[in-house]
Amino acid sequence: MRIVLVHPAGSNWIPGKKDITATANRMAPLGLLSIAAYLSREGHAVFLHDCLGPKAVPGTEANAAEILKYRPDLVGFSATTSGFLDGYDLAARIKAADPGIRTVFGGVHISAMGGFLLEKFEKIDYLCMGEGEATLAELASGEDPEKIRGLVWRKEGEIMANPPRDPIPDLDFLPFPAYEKLDGFPRGYNLPLFSYIRTPGATLITSRGCPYQCSYCDRSVFKRGYRYNSAEYIYDHMKHLRTEFGVRHITIYDDLFTANRKRITGLCDLLTAKPLGMHFNCAVRAGHADDELLEMLKAAGFLQLSLGIESGDPDLLETHKPGVYLDEVRETVKRIQGKGLRAKGLFMMGLPGETPASIRKTSDFVMSLGLDDMNMSKFTPFYGAPVWKTIFEEGEFDYDWRKMNCLNFVFVPKGIESKEALDQLYNTHVKRFYSDPEWRRRFRKRIWEHRRSIWYGLKHLPTFLAAKRSFEPERE
């Protein structure tokens, strides 16, 4: 079967402003690449179309035309909440051109919402719930839809929801993602500026699932279990990226990369004994980063460790990220930097219960940590997250899927006067971090290390200046 897998562009920035997200950080769609590799191994002709890729054409009509050139029998879309409607517009155009092409949607938005989407969006033939590799392979092979676990479909106008599919127990069974199908990889895909020294960069996911239950996190696809690749598989995967594509820096986007000590010890031993000439970034959990672990990571080539902190207000942490404590965060940052690694803090503004006072606490806490970098996302309620159950009681919610991308404030907590006030608080405190003389001093000391980021920034200077203006107060 001829299959095209599509990563929709979606609405990834601030309405009314130029979308700069792909310029600032263009990530390979790893989920689709994994499915592409699996389907290719099963003997199908698979093509990948990234609407956010470096060679993507602008506009729905043009992208639909590009997809149709592959003469697909089946088109699969991986959709976030903000990307779903863009994906559906593409599906509708494809169906209008050739009604015989079947369309299937998967991803976190689909797995959270389920059959409701087939009721409202008639141009979708199938929904893939949970992991997509085996479900799509069975669909592509001509298996009776009634027998395919994890599939939601129509039978004589009635929506049928099949039993869920069991998660893949051994992730080492999966082939490496089909990077070769991604036009422009790796040079056309870029990690966040100043997060790397060597180029080109790539991203990696080595586990699925998370046993924790933060209020804002949607676990609809991989659930709360925890499965992971072995140390040997990860090393071979990294070596594959190095030798086949010349990748020199990998950012690992696991939620719990260091949770299983045995596999991390094994991986670090391999990277130390047989270096690949690469740097790595990953995340660690506050309070679970002892000196031995940090020394192993440093010796293996790790450069920067991120911490999911979210808030500097203890009450908000207790509600939304239980098990993380400010004293442990301080100690973990100190440990990381004490071992010669960089520490990046990940925060979130606008959670239910947020007030100007709690935002100030977070801002003060951020400044007290002496972080090497910081990211402040804008809280977005997602349908499958625990917080969804009460979200309409907690404040004002602009339930517009296109804006739900963690780059817009679609939710305003009761304790904040207005969206405009929340935007102003956000801009003020993000600028406070990057204007800090101490942070700038540390940054200047690394100017030479960051020469590739600086050169990239200069090449795209107009775009980044436009982004900077988004953090300036509106003028009358």
Give the pLDDT mean for 337-358: 97
pLDDT score, position 476: 38
pLDDT score, position 223: 67
Give the pLDDT mean for 305-312: 96
Peptide bond into 356 cis (omega under 30): no
What does the block give as tokens for 361? 């606490």
Q: How confident is the model at residue 148 (pLDDT cuts 50, 70, 90)?
A: very high
Give the pLDDT mean for 386-403: 94
| 191-469: CATH number | 3.80.30.20
pLDDT score, position 226: 87
- Identify which has the larger pLDDT, 288 or 310: 310
pLDDT score, position 15: 62
Give the pLDDT mean for 277-294: 94
Residue 60 has pLDDT above 50, yes or no: yes
Domain-by-domain residue ranges, the chain? 2-161, 191-469
Least confident range from 70-79, 254-263, 267-276: namely 254-263
In the chain, % of residues over pLDDT 90: 83
Give the pLDDT mean for 141-155: 95
Give the pLDDT mean for 129-141: 95
b/e 283-298 (16+ beta carbons within 10 angstroms → b): bbbbeebeeebbebbb
Residue 178 has pLDDT above 80, yes or no: yes
Distances (CA, A) of 319 to 13, 53, 348, 414: 28, 38, 13, 16
Q: Where are the alpha helices (DSSP H) in 141-260?
A: 231-245
Residue 463 has pLDDT above 90, yes or no: no
pLDDT score, position 16: 60
Q: How confident is the model at residue 291 (pLDDT cuts 50, 70, 90)?
A: very high
**HSE-up of 325 (CA within 13 Å, CB side)?**
6
Q: Cα–Cα distance between 411 and 428 in angstroms, integer?
A: 19
Task: Tell the CATH topology of 2-161.
Answer: Rossmann fold (3.40.50)
Least confident range from 19-28, 53-62, 418-427: namely 19-28
Least confident range from 353-357, 421-425, 436-440, 449-453: namely 449-453
Give the pLDDT mean for 26-32: 94
Residue 472 has pLDDT above 60, yes or no: no
According to DSSP, the residues that pair with 325 across neighbouring strands are none
pLDDT score, position 459: 83
